[in-house]
Amino acid sequence: HSGRVVAGVVGNKLPHFSIYGDAVNTASRMESTSEKMRIQCSDMAYRLLRDAPEYRFDLVERGGVDVKGKGRMNTWWIESARLGKGEASQPPERAPSASHLVVHSDLLDASRDGIQDDDSPTDVCISTV
């Protein structure tokens, strides 16, 4: 899925990077309707991937899926991806752990440098994912 989110390092004693927003909630709920070892995307993400100039994605329409809190959403399977006109790359044998969120170390370092003495969020940014 794609949409606006709020992201940043939250907390003083145990700071952690978090993202919040309707796009995050929608993606999480869509994940619960997916199949093992498959990548599912929304219509919004489909349009972005379809028009991506640097990459080519093999997208197959899955059809309507009932998503909690969102109703019926049209979704797509991402079958493979490739750079430009090269060969398609297939999904990995084993899916990466969903508990890992890869974040650029410079963003984390900058956020940690800005941590204040109170428990307020620091270095919050708005982004589109």
Q: Catalytic amino acids?
A: 29, 68
The DSSP symbol for 118 reads S
Whether 9 and 121 have beta carbons less than 8 Å apart is answered as yes
CA–CA separation, 111 and 114 (whole Å): 5
How far apart, in whole angstroms, are the C-alpha atoms of residue 108 and residue 10? 11
Exposed, middle or buried by CB within 10 Å (0-12, 13-18, 19+), for 108? middle
102: tokens are 């890869």
CA–CA dist 74, 50 (Å, integer): 15
Asked if 54 contacts 44 with a C-beta cutoff of 8 angstroms, the reply is no
